[in-house]
């Protein structure tokens, strides 16, 4: 009788998002597409985090949020 092996299972979820923009970062109309990015800023011994949201048409900052924790986005 052949021994069966348990299949390895991933213990993390796949949090991949769909690529809706497909590298089309130039937009003609304002407030249709926003993009965000996170910055990790080290000051002394501590890390600080900054999330910035921009409108891809005007390239203006729509919102920004600093935090002392990487998982504290609201």
Render pLDDT for 32-64 as a digit per residue (tens, 0 to 9): 999 999 999 999 999 999 999 999 999 999 999
Which one is predicted more confidently, 73 or 61?
A: 61
CB atoms near residue 28 (< 10 Å): 7
CB 55 within 8 A of CB 34: yes
Q: In this structure, are residues 42 and 68 in contact, taking their beta carbons and an 8 Å threshold?
A: no
Domain ranges of the chain: 34-67
| Predicted pLDDT of residue 5 | 60
Position 23 pLDDT exceeds 60: yes
């Amino acid at each position: 009788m052949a021994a069966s092996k348990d299949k390895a299972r991933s213990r993390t979820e796949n949090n991949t998002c769909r690529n809706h923009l497909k590298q089309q970062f130039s937009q003609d109309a304002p407030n249709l597409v926003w993009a965000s990015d996170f910055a990790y800023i080290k000051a002394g011994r501590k890390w600080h985090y900054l999330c910035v949201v921009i409108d891809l048409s005007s390239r203006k900052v729509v919102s920004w949020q600093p935090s002392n924790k990487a998982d504290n986005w609201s």
